[in-house]
Structures are given as structure tokens and as C-alpha cells.
């Protein structure tokens, strides 16, 4: 069996624990083998507290602690930085206490540990946390921590920008409050799957309501943070504004759809005439009756004429799309239509039709004046030409305002956001 002292001598190095004692009466100091190692001094070098103070970067601090222990008898502990004899920087944890005999402090003793590795590690962790926090705060994409019931826990600047709310305002509401109702169920179902462990993450395109009431399209990515024991803690959301992208996509889709429609019209109209020409010429070639053959050849001429007329009309359509809408003016819709009605009044009277103009006074449209006139001339003259034979001529054409607002009209739109237009029925 070792003596207690020998045991200390053997065990302390196992823990990397420096042990020291200073007798205030005799001035003698005991240090174990670890302390010279920490300070990079030789085993026999002077190692009294006063000798070692000079290695501390803040010697006054450690000296003050030392004297406090002597004066109060209370133990002190501190994490301090030292520069060793060889110039190495180290962090140490110093613990000190004192023993009393007859109310007099006799011995000061304590421990010293090298904690450089732990301090460095903690510093690294703190640095990382700060970097993450900075990244979160200033990320150009919206980032948020959201509780399991949908309240916002933490939001960054981009989320506030995107939704128009201040951070304080957002933290008082849930994401459900500002999600478009048509997207809410899908969002909630995904969250349930996340919590249930069915999925690790999800992304979806969804609509939020901006504080001003308009719709914001966002690409949402969500994952779930769980505790060590696997309990769900909160959601991490990334929210990217894709409103502009959506708008551009819509414009492109509408343009493509118009182009496809135009291609179909072109194809249809050209095919009608060329089909006739083909059938007529095939027929004329084998026709034996000379009179009939001549008739067929004349018809080929008529079909070719129709084809040219169609081509010219298609050309007009293209030029209207190219330039027509560049020369827009604000026009009084009622006045424009009354002018067209005056032009067409002979054929309206002849057909026995009546036109009932119920457009509110002062309704304006922005359009090219020449094209607006031709639009109405075509609409009205076609409805007379192709009127329903079974219906009385008196009801041949009626102008009717289908809605209280219209995207083409400059009248303010109503609160209900009803979209309609100027309707025409015959």
C-alpha cells in the first residue's frame, strides 16, 4: 500500500492535475511534476506563487485573487491565460484555497490544469455559432424558425421584407394566418409528415399574403429539428420570393398560348382555301364536261382569291400585335361605340335590331383608336349578319356590362376583386 502522499504523486499526473502548496510561515513551496510542465520550467526551478505570477498575461488579476484567498480564507477559481517560459500561450484553470491555524492563514494551496484545448474548442464553437447567426440574419433568402403550432420563433430580415411585417409583428402571428387558403392544407399535410417522420424535408411553391394584402409567391423549404431523444422541437424554413418568376412564367405561358392559337388559326384558314384549290384542280383535271370544267377552274380562281384575302388579314393581325398596342390613348368607351353605331345605323335599321347601350357614363379604355373602332364594327356587323334566325330581331344585339370593373377599364376596381369585362351578347 502506498502512502497517501505517494498516491497523490502518482495519480495527479494521470489527470494532468498540477498540485501546489505554499507555506506562508516558512516560505517553502511544494509543486508536483505537472506544474513545471505547464509553465515550461525545469523541475528544480523556483515555482512559488510569486515566481509564477509573472507568467500570467494579467499578473495583477491573479495576484489579487491570491491575496483575497489569504485575507478571506475563501476559495477562488479562475480561467487565465499564461505565456510560458518558452513563450507558449496556454489557458489554465487555477483553484486556490487556504488553511488556517489559530485564526492565521498558514498555507495556500491549490491546483492548476491546462485547459487550452477546451478553451480553443469553445472559442471555435462560439465563432461558428456567431457565423451561423450572421448568416441567418443577413441571408438574402428568407429564413425562419417556426414552432410546431405555426408561430414564428425567429425570422430574418428577408422574411420581414418578403411579407411586409416587422419582426415583432411576425412573432405575434402564425404562418397559417398569412398563408393563402388554397395552399394551407398541402403545407399542413407536409408538416405532419415531417413530424411523423415520413419525410426528412419538403419544398413547395405557395402563396403568402403580404401585409398590404397582395399575394407573394414563395418557394418554401422546410426541415424539422429534433431533440437528442428524437422529440420534434421546431421547423427550419427557407422562404424564397418567386413572385417575379411566377409573373414572367405566366406572361410566357400566355404568349405561348396566344402564339399556338394563332398558329392554329393560320393553319386552319390557309388549309381551308388550299384544300379547296387541291380538290377543285383534281376534279377539273378529270372533268369531261367542258362547261363544268370551266366552272371548276373559275372556282379555283375564287379559292385562290380567298386565300390571298386570308393572308392579308393574317398580316393585319400580326401588325396589330406588333404595333397596334403601342399607340394607346384613353378613349371614352360610350362615345366610341355611339360613333360606330352611327356608322352602322343603316344595316341595324334594315335588320330591325336594336342596340341597348348600358355602359356607365365616363368609362374609359386605353386602346388604339383605329383598332377599337374596327373591333366594334366587326362585333356589331357580325352579330347582325349571323343573328339567330329563330329569335326576334328586336333582341339581336344587347350591350351589357358584365361586371363592375374590368382590367382594361381605368375605373377603380372594387373591393371584391371581381374580374369581368365588357360583355356582348346577340
Partner 1 sequence: MRQLDVACIIDDDELFTYVLAKQMEVIGFCKTTLVFQNGQDALTYLRPIVESAGELPSVILLDLNMPVLDGWQFLDEFVRLRPGRKIAVYIVSSSIDAADHEKALAYKEVANFYIKPVTEGNLLEILNEMMPAGFKE
Residues at the interface with partner 1 (CB under 8 A): 264, 267-269, 271-272, 274-276, 278-280, 283, 299, 302-303, 306, 382, 385-386, 388-390
How many angstroms separate the CA atoms of 414 and 88, rounded? 77
> Would you list the DSSP string of 352-363?
T--EE--PPTT-
Comparing C-alpha atoms, which of 172, 408, 306 is closest to residue 298?
306
C-alpha grid cell, residue 158: 428577408
Comparing C-alpha atoms, which of 222, 220, 221, 219 is closest to residue 243?
219
C-alpha distance from residue 4 to each of 7, 9, 11, 12 (Å): 5, 9, 10, 12
Burial 302-312 (b: 16+ CB within 10 A, else e): ebeeebeebee
C-alpha distance from residue 376 to each of 343, 367, 419 (Å): 11, 13, 21
Q: Pick the closer one to partner 1 by CB: 190 or 273.
A: 273
How many angstroms separate the CA atoms of 379 and 364, rounded? 19
Residue 86 CB neighbours (<10 A):
8
Q: Where are the alpha helices (DSSP H) in 165-289?
A: 167-171, 181-196, 243-286
Question: For residue 191, what is the DSSP state?
Answer: H
Beta carbons of 140 and 238 less than 8 angstroms apart? no
Environment class of residue 242 by beta-carbon count within 10 Å: exposed (0-12), middle (13-18) or buried (19+)?
A: middle
In 3-state terms, what secondary structure has residue 407? coil
Question: For residue 57, what is the DSSP state?
Answer: S
How many angstroms separate the CA atoms of 191 and 342, rounded? 64
Q: Pick the closer one to partner 1 by CB: 86 or 385.
A: 385
Beta carbons of 313 and 276 less than 8 angstroms apart? no
> Would you list the DSSP string of 207-225?
EEE-TTS-EEEEEEEEEEE
Amino acid at each position: 500500500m502506498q502512502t497517501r502522499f505517494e498516491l497523490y504523486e502518482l495519480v495527479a499526473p494521470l489527470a494532468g492535475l498540477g498540485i501546489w502548496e505554499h507555506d506562508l510561515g516558512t516560505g517553502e513551496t511544494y509543486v508536483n511534476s505537472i506544474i513545471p510542465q505547464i509553465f515550461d520550467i525545469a523541475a528544480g526551478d523556483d515555482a512559488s506563487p510569486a515566481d509564477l505570477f509573472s507568467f500570467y498575461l494579467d499578473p495583477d488579476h491573479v495576484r489579487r485573487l491570491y491575496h483575497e484567498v489569504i485575507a478571506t480564507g475563501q476559495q477562488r477559481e479562475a480561467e487565465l491565460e499564461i505565456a510560458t517560459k518558452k513563450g507558449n500561450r496556454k489557458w489554465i484553470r487555477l483553484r486556490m484555497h487556504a488553511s488556517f491555524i489559530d485564526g492565521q492563514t498558514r498555507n495556500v494551496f491549490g491546483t492548476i490544469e491546462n485547459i487550452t484545448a477546451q478553451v480553443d474548442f469553445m472559442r471555435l464553437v462560439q465563432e461558428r455559432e456567431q457565423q451561423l447567426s450572421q448568416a441567418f440574419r443577413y441571408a438574402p433568402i428568407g429564413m425562419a424558425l417556426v414552432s410546431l403550432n405555426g408561430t414564428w420563433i425567429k425570422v430574418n430580415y428577408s422574411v420581414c421584407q418578403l411579407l411586409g411585417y416587422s419582426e415583432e409583428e411576425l412573432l405575434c402571428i402564425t404562418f397559417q394566418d398569412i398563408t393563402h387558403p388554397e395552399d394551407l392544407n398541402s403545407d399542413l399535410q407536409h408538416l405532419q409528415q415531417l413530424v411523423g417522420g415520413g419525410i426528412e424535408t419538403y419544398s413547395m411553391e405557395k402563396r403568402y399574403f403580404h401585409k398590404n394584402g397582395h399575394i407573394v409567391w414563395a418557394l418554401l423549404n422546410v426541415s424539422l429539428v429534433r431533440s437528442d431523444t428524437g422529440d420534434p422541437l421546431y421547423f427550419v424554413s427557407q422562404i424564397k420570393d418567386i413572385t417575379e418568376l411566377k409573373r414572367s412564367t405566366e406572361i410566357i405561358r400566355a404568349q405561348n398560348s396566344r402564339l399556338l392559337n394563332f398558329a392554329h388559326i393560320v393553319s386552319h384558314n390557309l388549309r381551308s382555301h388550299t384544300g379547296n384549290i387541291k380538290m377543285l384542280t383534281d376534279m377539273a383535271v378529270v372533268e369531261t364536261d367542258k362547261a363544268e370544267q370551266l366552272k371548276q377552274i373559275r372556282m379555283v380562281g375564287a379559292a385562290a382569291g380567298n386565300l390571298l384575302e386570308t393572308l392579308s388579314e393574317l398580316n393585319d393581325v400580326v401588325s396589330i400585335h406588333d404595333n397596334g398596342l403601342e399607340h394607346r390613348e384613353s378613349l371614352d368607351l360610350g362615345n366610341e361605340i355611339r360613333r360606330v353605331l352611327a356608322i352602322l345605323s343603316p344595316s341595324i335599321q334594315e335588320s330591325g335590331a336594336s342596340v341597348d347601350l348600358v355602359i356607365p357614363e365616363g368609362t374609359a379604355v386605353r386602346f388604339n383608336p383605329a383598332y377599337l373602332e374596327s373591333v366594334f364594327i366587326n362585333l356589331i356587323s357580325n352579330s347582325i349578319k349571323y343573328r339567330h334566325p329563330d329569335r326576334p330581331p328586336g333582341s339581336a344585339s344587347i350591350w351589357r356590362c358584365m361586371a363592375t370593373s374590368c382590367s382594361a377599364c381605368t375605373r377603380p376596381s372594387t373591393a371584391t376583386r371581381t374580374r369581368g369585362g365588357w360583355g356582348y351578347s346577340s
